[in-house]
Chain A
Amino acid sequence: MPDTPKNRREFLKACATAGAVGLWVTLIPRPADAQRVHQIDPSLKTPDWMNHYYAYVIDLRKCIGCGNCVRACKRENKVDERFFRTWVERYQITDDEHVTVDSPNGGHDGFTGNVAQGKVTRAFFVPKMCNHCRNTPCTQVCPVHASYQTPEGVILVDKKRCIGCAYCVQACPYGSRFIDPRTHTADKCTWCYHRITKGLLPACVTVCPTKTRRFGDLKDENDAIRELVYNELTNVLKPDLNTEPFCFYIGFDRAIR
């Protein structure tokens, strides 16, 4: 055959040419790709996100630790049973200021019995989740831009892009991220982005029987969340880290970590 390379130099040249041509061929848009982009509902294509900035308020004085939020979140987002997007911790503080924290199965099945040794003087529940910081440590470390922040203040993870390196899991100071063992990608609370963009509340807020969990839009002047965020005495978790969380706690205790 005349095309057969006669020596190493020609062989390498042929390989390089073939490789370069092959690369360019892959650039030709395939019809399947074009279809994939347009399959999605066209009405969703223009997010009006500049008119929203969401905030979450948790009133610790009201939480009764029923675990409805944890169960609702699991169902809504099909979270792996070993991990939690949101969970509830129980704090029990004895008279010698010894703090005992427990969260059996993330509060999924409720709480039973006492775990603290000694006389408990204060006891309360602390629901936790992704704090949706404005100054996010987790998106900053993502090497492939799979984790990002929308202009509404919601932190999302693109599972198709995520390589599962778990840098973000280490970077999050609140422990709200995990690697989903089924997909080997990072997973976290999205404030139920698919619900809030349709005008619904996140699943955990929807099922909360005592209105401990509140959610709203800070840019909407009629939203009750503004009253809470701007007028109530609130605190955030780990304010010293300057992550600027938009998950505010009312009735915060000094023992909460």
Chain B
Amino acid sequence: MNSYQHLTRAFVIIAVLALCGVALRGNLVPDTFGKWGAYRASHIDEERARLPLISDDDSCLNCHETEWNMAGGKHANVPCMDCHFLDGEHARPLQGDQSLNEFALRESRKNSEMVFKNLLAVMNQGWNQDDIERLSQMLSQNEWGMRVRVHRGEPVIRQFGEASPKRRAPKGDEDIRKALSLGEESLKIEGEKDAEVVRYLYPLKVEEACLACHTKARVGEVNGVIEVLYPLARMKLKMYQKLADMPIDRSREACQMCHRYLNSRPEKHPQVKDFDEHIQKGWKTNMGPVDLGAPCLRCHKAHIPSIVKRRDNA
């Protein structure tokens, strides 16, 4: 037996070293290495999961259909992003409707908060449902097409009773039921094509301050829901107006990136002898009060002036 001792010892040592080798390899080689080739396969997924930043023209078309149809002339084939070098947040492609959604959400939330502040003012003086009706009418006049409704929640019904039947929310309205029970705000685009309405529900959650009058309510419950309806077309127009200060590169450099021989080729611009002097002294303003900041655009029409015109007419 003793004569095999040197062999068993060698075998044990080799086995232990081999096991350690396996363990070491398991530690050093990443999980997905070798799944598809001699590289970490999960890196492919990481790379694919990155979000694109630069918009292509199709993603501009998703929201800016009007501008799209106006873009023409020599710049018709120039990608939008060449002049409108937008911030990354604005230019998230693949999520075309998201920017409109975000804008609508912000806008509706603002309106609802305004409604609530108005309600609060009348609440302190004691009020009835006609006051809300009047407020809603006033707001509709102020913001054309906006309609406001207020629905009572469980704690208010407990204390003051149900609203009159004609002002009650329809029984089967799932969204209002959800907003009342869960206290979640919601934004939806409803209605037929070309007459869509943005419907926003703003739940009024009970806070400490409410308890002074709403004695039967508890903090965290939903006292009611403010419903704001707004025509989608108006909402879009509002967004365009917000974007009137388009983040276009407001300098002649934006034009000069492509038209870079402006200075070195005076024969092409006989009327522009010295470009800097030209800018300082001003130039023909036959385009009315339009001031877009970019000097070249004052004489050379890109597609932008026509948009301003359209907006003035609207």
Contact = CB atoms under 8 A, between A and B. Distances in A.
Interface of A: 19-20, 23-24, 26-27, 33, 37, 40-41, 44-45, 47, 64-68, 71-72, 75-76, 110-113, 145-146, 148, 150, 156, 158, 160-161, 190, 192-195, 197-198, 200-201, 203, 206-209, 211
Given A194-B49, A203-B52, 19 more contacts: A19-B20, A20-B19, A20-B20, A23-B20, A26-B23, A27-B23, A37-B42, A66-B82, A72-B81, A110-B256, A110-B257, A112-B260, A113-B264, A148-B37, A161-B40, A194-B52, A207-B79, A207-B81, A209-B82
Contacts of A110: 256-257, 260
Contacts of A66: 82, 257-258, 260
B43 interface: yes
A113 to B, nearest CB: 7
B192 interface: no
Contacts of B52: 76, 192, 194-195, 198, 200, 203
A47 B54 contact: no
Contact of A206 (B49, B54, B258): B54
A40 B40 contact: no
B248 to A, nearest CB: 14
Nearest to A195: B52
Given A200-B93, A209-B258, A44 B49 contact: yes
B81 A20 contact: no
20 contacts: A23-B24, A27-B23, A27-B26, A44-B45, A45-B45, A66-B257, A72-B81, A75-B85, A76-B52, A110-B260, A111-B260, A145-B40, A156-B44, A158-B39, A158-B40, A160-B43, A193-B48, A194-B52, A203-B53, A209-B258
A39 B221 CA distance: 35
Contacts of B57: 206
Nearest to A36: B42
B56 interface: yes
Contacts of A158: 39-40, 43
Contact of B43 (A24, A45, A156): A156
Interface of B: 16, 19-20, 23-24, 26-27, 30-33, 37-40, 42-57, 77-79, 81-82, 85, 88, 93-94, 256-258, 260, 264
A19 to B, nearest CB: 8
Given A40-B42, A112-B260, A24 B82 contact: no
B269 to A, nearest CB: 16
- Nearest 4 CB-CB pairs, A to B? A194-B50, A148-B39, A23-B23, A158-B43
B94 to A, nearest CB: 7
Contacts of B31: 33, 37
A145 B29 CA distance: 11
B27 A26 contact: yes
A26 to B, nearest CB: 6
Q: Which of A71, A156, A207 has the most CB of B within 10 A?
A: A207
A49 B55 CA distance: 24
Contacts of A19: 20
A75 B88 contact: yes
A20 B53 CA distance: 48
B43, B44, B82, B258: which has the most chain A beta carbons within 10 Å? B44
B83 to A, nearest CB: 9
A148 B23 contact: no
Given A44-B48, A68-B257, A145-B38, A198 B264 contact: no
A33 B88 CA distance: 31
A3 B57 CA distance: 73
B78 A209 contact: yes
Nearest to B256: A110
Nearest to B58: A200
A122 to B, nearest CB: 17
A146 B79 contact: no
Nearest to B55: A206
Nearest to B19: A20
B79 A206 contact: yes
Contacts of B46: 40
B54 A41 contact: no
A19 B20 CA distance: 9
A68 B23 CA distance: 51
A149 to B, nearest CB: 8
Nearest to B54: A203
Given A65-B260, A200-B93, A161 B43 contact: yes
A209 B32 contact: no
A19, A23, A64, A192 — most chain B CB neighbours (10 Å): A23
Contacts of B77: 209, 211
Contacts of B53: 75-76, 203
A9 B140 CA distance: 91
Nearest to B86: A75
Contact of A201 (B33, B45, B56): B56
Nearest to B59: A200
